[in-house]
Amino acid sequence: DYITTVSDTYANEIQTPYYGEGLDGLLSARHYDMQGIVNGIDYDIYDPATDPKIFVNYDGETFRRKKSQNKVKLQEMLGLTVDKKKYMIGLISRLTDQKGLDLIDFVIERIIDDYTQLVVIGTGEERYENMFRYFAWKHGDKISANICYNDDLAHKLYAAADAFLMPSAFEPCGLTQLISFRYGTVPIVRETGGLKDTVQAYNEYEHTGDGFSFANYNGEEMLSVINYSKKVFYEDKKNWNKIIDRGMAKDFSWKNSAKRYEDVYNYLIGV
């Protein structure tokens, strides 16, 4: 038999006491029979070129002039300050401890400076729902808290946002960052589980990477990376667009994931 989970890093993490939930010893003993296979997403449903749920369709050739049109339309819809030059950060999530929302609580009023907006979609623990409601009430021109799950609105946010924030305490795979790549929205993630495996941090010296990341579960470190992403967005738009290019060129369709599962099954039956 064989063990699969949904990312290579998570496969390693669950062999440790912190993540193993009491099974770390068993999983460590079976590490030769274990593999992480990242989930895929439906490339027909999540396609900014044809998505009927977004305001303005675009692709890898046209996002430079059309993506910001989605931002303006969403700002109008949600009652935010209408300005295509604002840096819009999206967050679509279950509102739970796992998702790193305590880090956001710690620094949120330093995230939303005069140049930045935050749009949240999700439901979950009451304290986090109320947290986002409060900050949206206090900073209504900068923060939109949508305490619900609305698929149409989610698609609009993927298309409108400049960046997506995922500061998870742990994340076996994660899908939001994969969808973000598809829509040319730059992920900002904590380096854990599938987030670490799928997002390559931008390196300004080597001109590589397709997102931004931080290693430690720390609000100040997260804020520093968010501020760095803003700096690139505002001061180096050429390389920002190349970050988007690299992300949109990635393939996280189910075709690749299915092939890896097929390889595992063929190995098990000796094909």
Look at the chain and report how many structural domains it folds into.
2
Helices (H), 124-187: 126-138, 151-160, 176-182
| pTM metric for this prediction | 0.96
Task: Reply yes or no on whether the pLDDT at 1 is more than 90.
Answer: no
Q: At residue 241, does pLDDT exceed 90?
A: yes
Q: Are residues 27 and 117 in the same domain?
A: no
| Residues 261 and 233 placed together within one structural domain of the fold | no
| 225 and 102 in a common domain | yes
Residue 181 lies in a domain: yes
pLDDT, one tens digit per residue, over 80-113 is 999 999 999 999 999 999 999 999 999 999 999 9
Residues 215 and 260 in one domain: no
By residue range, what is the domain housing residue 87? 63-249
Backbone phi, psi, residue 24, to 5°: -60, -35
pLDDT tens digit string along 30-60? 999 999 999 999 999 999 999 999 999 999 9
pLDDT at 214: 99
Domain assignment present for 57: no
Query: Same structural domain for residues 24 and 117?
Result: no
pLDDT of residue 271: 84
For the segment 141-171, what is each residue's pLDDT rounded down to a tens digit? Answer: 999 999 999 999 999 999 999 999 999 999 9
Q: Which residues contact 175 (CB under 8 A, 6 or more apart)?
A: 39, 41
Q: Is the residue at 52 inside a domain?
A: no
Q: Where are the beta strands (DSSP E) in 78-122?
A: 87-92, 116-121
Whether residue 160 contacts residue 70, with contact meaning beta carbons closer than 8 Å, is answered with yes
Burial 40-75 (b: 16+ CB within 10 A, else e): bbeeeebebeebeebbbebeeeebeebbbbbbbbbb
Residue 34 and residue 68 in one domain: no
